[in-house]
Amino acid sequence: MRQTAKLVVHVVDAQHLMPRDGQGSASPFVEVDFLNQLSKTRTVPKSLNPVWNQKLYFDYDPTAINHYIEVSVYHERRPVPGRSLLGRVKISCSNIVYEGDQVYQRFPLEKKWLISSIKGEIGLKLYISFSEQDQTFPPLFPSKPITSSTQTEENIAHLETEDSLERFASAEQEDLADSACEDEEKKEEVKEAVQKLQRQEVFARPAPMHSIRLRSRENPQDANKPLSRGHPRNNNHLQSYADTEANDDMNLDLGERLPNPVVGERFTGTYDLVEQMFYLYVRVVRAKELSTAGGSDPYVEVKLGNYMGRTKNFDKKTIVPEWNQVFAFPKERIQSSVLEVFVKDKETLGRDDFLGKVVFDLNEIPTRVPPNSPLAPQWYRLEDWRGQGKVVRGEIMLAVWMGSQADEAFPEAWYADTASVHGEGVFNIRSKVYVSPKLWYLRVNVIEAQDMIPSDRNRLPDVFVKANVGMQTLKTSICPMKTANPLWNEDLLFVVAEPFEEQLVITVEDRVHASKDEVIGRISLPMNMFEKRLDHRLVPSRWFNIDKYGHGVLEPNSRRNAFSSRIHLRICLEGGYHVMDESTMYISDTRPTARQLWKQPVGMLEIGILGAKGLAPMKLEDSRGSTDAYCVAKYGQKWVRTRTILDSLSPKWNEQYTWEVYDLCTVITLGVFDNGHLRPVKGVSRDATIGKVRIRLSTLEADKIYTHSFPLLVLQPHGLKKTVTKWLEDVCNWRYPFTSVLVHVLFFILVMYPELILPTMFLYMFFIGLWNFRVRPRHPPHMDMKLSWAETVGPDELDEEFDTFPTSRSQDLVRLRYDRLRSVAGRIQTVVGDIASQGERIQLLMSWRDPRATSLFILFSLAASVVFYAMPFKVVTLVCGLHYLRHPKFRSKLPSAPSNFFKRLSSRSDNLL
């Protein structure tokens, strides 16, 4: 029986609390309030740094993501009963994680009233707990689509046979449910979960012509609002054209309404950004009482004109077969008015036997419009296959209806236009939704080691440490002193992904010779033993025993040998940072790894991938060019792949996907690829890139639909550098206090007496000339080694200097020289590009390319004009200058708000190829 979820608030400790007992101490306890459920810890007497380490349990409601957990710390008065507040914390439920992902967090205590005297921090762990019997976790965020279809699809792939028509999601999901559940009740839960997953995510069908909508978080009620005919549209169609103009006029009917003969008209809210695609759906459920004696190997053929689909057949004899497979026939390709469903018996030798058929007139097939309930299947009597109206033994359960790609059956259906695909190819053409693995920084602080005994005991070792995680290997420097107890205190940083299957291998080596290192000891540590850290606190360090056989154990455990070398390490998984896996210029996610630190989303991004036109042929098939195109969209941790459209230079996908947006200064990337797994070129199964499109979300207005056609380009992003003035930084950071004081005095004089600016400049140059008199050249100048960098010239540069003309060296060597020259030119181009980017950002402030940035800037300009008019120029200059030259004690380590705002503005680097 399913257990109730519990919210666990693990109250660990508190630090630096405010004294309350009149004797410089306090007797604190913690009270937690969640949805009017109150619970409290024990009281720790006489302590400003109490440790409770106590768990409090509350009934958890998954729909309560907009509520808060209120944690209050009180001082218990004695002997007179009573309590006084030491501080409180309000924690949003939206970032609570499941058990196993919880991390110790410190929260600064807040005041309840303005005049309250509060200080200190409280350490907590918060998570959702289930019993071991509960295998089905409800979503922590019901409004967010579930994106675990990758594992489902991969598991399904093993169940598909060589026949392309035997790969259908319904039957595969049932097989998956059978392997995952032990009873019928569990099976139904899993089926409902998978169907819900597909309704939310997987059924989508769009292209490089895109429709985009950015929904603001302030209007969540608009999420289900249909797109009406009068909805404002921008004539920008993000249709990925290969070699056509980007502003072609397109006649699109997005959010088309489907007729419903029962309830009139209803809007299809799930697919309101794409064009409707109509399909004839046939769901083959099961059959019973078939006419063959002794059982059969039955299967079903669904025939519509020239299209024919076939279910899988059973290997065992059965008279009650169950398929539960869906066939989809595109309406625009239907060339028949009759749908025929044949039931056949698979024969090992000879021709398969006909068991009966059912015939449908397409004019009588109903139309189903979501959100109407799915059409219920019905039993139909089998007729003689010769078409004489004679009824034979047996019945088949079918459901036949006309629908669109918004139908729940669309993701799991077999499509008639992909009938030529067989075997594993069917798995490669289906649309999929993937979730990128969660990345952590693994910080390994190598502190010291003891008893490092080399193989040659007559010498002291030159010891260094090598750390390895998968394909990543980092080394410390060699200990500067030759000793058996070396000291490093160096940090090594790795990137690891969940689930933590790899191990951290620490190897201590001795530099015996310049070209030879010997292993002194090695230890292998699993990732799940390391503590996760979200803030700047230090995790406890540990000593590890090592030996030359590569087996390490913790010091508290029993040693295998009487003597063992040891190494002192501090290791933790960093969750407070965002692991960079994209270029900073086109980043799509800025959130830290730990969900507990995520902020609330600012809106929803909806993209309808419509189609592409004018694609270049990527394959040569029968002396004819062809392309099997699909589109991939990547934003944040989720990336999606549309289905593959076979043999078309103008594919239409019409798929729609949704992402939660946490930061508007991010970019979504869409790429179009040719599927190389269907018809491999020269036996190589590799998908070829057709082109790419990037869209910066800050350029989109909220609650507005954009449709646009973009040329498809293969883009290669280039990073930028920053330029600074070193001397001014030294002055502001008070590196040389005497110089900083003089600069402040000079600044005061120039502000108070602006007429002295020019005289002061010339006087400054006079004194500089006098100062340089004492270091004047005593001899005539000659060639300077430092200016020429002659002492740093390498053999390659000397060889180039003394080479003949024309060159006497090989072509490879000349090519290396040109590569070196190009690298110098590239650095110059990077600096020039950086300067251009700053100018483009300034221009962006008034160009309305980023509507939010321009709105803020013009409001700031209006306010600044009023301030500068009302305040004397001297006062404004003095305040700004003193703020800029302030002492480091008054500076924050974080960048200022204006600087952060300017750096996050987009430049034309988004358009670089």
Q: Answer yes or no: are the C-beta atoms of 308 and 302 closer than 8 Å.
A: yes
Question: Cα(913)–Cα(907) distance, rounded to whole angstroms?
Answer: 14
Q: Is residue 22 located within the same domain as residue 50?
A: yes
Between β-strands 542-546 and 565-574, what pairing exists: parallel, antiparallel or unpaired? antiparallel
Q: Is residue 415 located within the same domain as residue 470?
A: no
The answer on pLDDT for 514 being more than 90 is no
> H/E element holding 738?
helix 737-752
Q: Is residue 283 located within the same domain as residue 367?
A: yes
Q: Is residue 607 located within the same domain as residue 515?
A: no
End-to-end CA distance of the chain: 58
Q: Give me the pLDDT at residue 548, please.
A: 66
- Which percentage of the chain shows pLDDT scores above 70? 74
The answer on pLDDT for 832 being more than 80 is yes
Q: Is residue 658 located within the same domain as residue 701?
A: yes
Q: Give me the pLDDT at residue 74, please.
A: 93
Side chain identity at residue 139, one-letter code = P
- The arithmetic mean of pLDDT across residues 17-36, rounded, is 90
The answer on pLDDT for 357 being more than 80 is yes
Q: What is the mean pLDDT of the chain?
A: 76
DSSP assigned state of 681: B
Q: Is residue 866 part of a domain?
A: yes
pLDDT band at 493 (very low <50, low <70, confident <90, very high): very high
Q: Is residue 411 located within the same domain as residue 443?
A: no
* Cα–Cα nearest to 638, from 244, 120, 145: 145
Q: Give me the pLDDT at residue 421, please.
A: 72
Q: Is residue 116 located within the same domain as residue 36?
A: yes
Q: Is residue 716 part of a domain?
A: no
Handedness of CA 167, 170, 171, 176 (dihedral sign): positive
- Between 99-113, 548-562, 750-764, the lowest mean confidence (pLDDT) is in 548-562
Q: Is residue 660 part of a domain?
A: yes
- The arithmetic mean of pLDDT across residues 203-211, rounded, is 46
pLDDT band at 317 (very low <50, low <70, confident <90, very high): low
Q: Is residue 652 part of a domain?
A: yes
pLDDT in tens, 477-487: 999 888 889 99
Q: Give me the pLDDT at residue 563, please.
A: 59
Q: Is residue 45 located within the same domain as residue 77?
A: yes
Asked which of 82, 109, 130 is the last residue of a domain, the reply is 130
The answer on pLDDT for 34 being more than 80 is yes
Q: Give me the pLDDT at residue 1, please.
A: 46
Q: Is residue 509 located within the same domain as residue 614?
A: no
Q: Is residue 52 located within the same domain as residue 126?
A: yes
Asked which of 98, 130, 162 is the last residue of a domain, the reply is 130
> H/E element holding 769?
helix 757-773
Q: Give me the pLDDT at residue 231, please.
A: 34
Q: Is residue 237 part of a domain?
A: no
Domain that includes residue 338, residue range: 278-419
pLDDT band at 216 (very low <50, low <70, confident <90, very high): low
The answer on pLDDT for 542 being more than 70 is yes
Asked which of 90, 113, 130 is the last residue of a domain, the reply is 130
> H/E element holding 398?
strand 391-404
Q: SS3 helix, strand, coil % of the chain, rounded to 5?
A: 25, 35, 45
pLDDT in tens, 737-794: 877 888 888 787 777 777 777 676 667 667 776 777 777 666 565 545 565 665 666 7
- The arithmetic mean of pLDDT across residues 840-856, rounded, is 83
Q: Is residue 338 located within the same domain as residue 412?
A: yes
Structure tokens at 74: 């009180």
The answer on pLDDT for 30 being more than 70 is yes
Q: Is residue 659 located within the same domain as residue 796?
A: yes
Q: Give me the pLDDT at residue 898, please.
A: 84
The answer on pLDDT for 506 being more than 90 is yes
Domains in the chain: how many in total? 5
Q: Answer yes or no: are the C-beta atoms of 194 and 324 closer than 8 Å.
A: no
- The arithmetic mean of pLDDT across residues 198-220, rounded, is 49
pLDDT band at 241 (very low <50, low <70, confident <90, very high): very low
Q: Is residue 862 part of a domain?
A: yes
Question: Cα(699)–Cα(702) distance, rounded to whole angstroms?
Answer: 10
HSE at residue 229, side-chain half, CA atoms within 13 A, is 1
* Cα–Cα nearest to 165, from 354, 431, 339, 419: 419
Cis status of the peptide bond prior to 79, with omega within 30 of 0: yes
Q: Give me the pLDDT at residue 472, please.
A: 93
- Between 630-639, 647-656, 844-853, the lowest mean confidence (pLDDT) is in 844-853
Q: Is residue 581 part of a domain?
A: no
* Number of C-beta neighbours around residue 151 at 10 A: 11
pLDDT in tens, 874-905: 888 888 888 888 888 888 877 788 888 888 88
Structure tokens at 155: 């598991």
pLDDT in tens, 258-295: 444 433 333 334 577 888 888 899 999 998 888 765 55
Q: Give me the pLDDT at residue 240, please.
A: 35
- The arithmetic mean of pLDDT across residues 392-410, rounded, is 87
Q: Is residue 214 part of a domain?
A: no
Q: E strands within 227-377? A: 233-234, 240-241, 258-260, 264-266, 278-288, 298-304, 307-310, 322-330, 338-345, 353-361
- The arithmetic mean of pLDDT across residues 682-697, rounded, is 79
* Number of C-beta neighbours around residue 148 at 10 A: 14
- Between 151-155, 461-465, 681-685, the lowest mean confidence (pLDDT) is in 151-155
- Which percentage of the chain shows pLDDT scores above 90? 20
The answer on pLDDT for 583 being more than 70 is yes
Three-state secondary structure call for residue 773:
helix
Question: Cα(409)–Cα(405) distance, rounded to whole angstroms?
Answer: 8
Q: What is the CATH number of the domain that holds 380?
A: 2.60.40.150
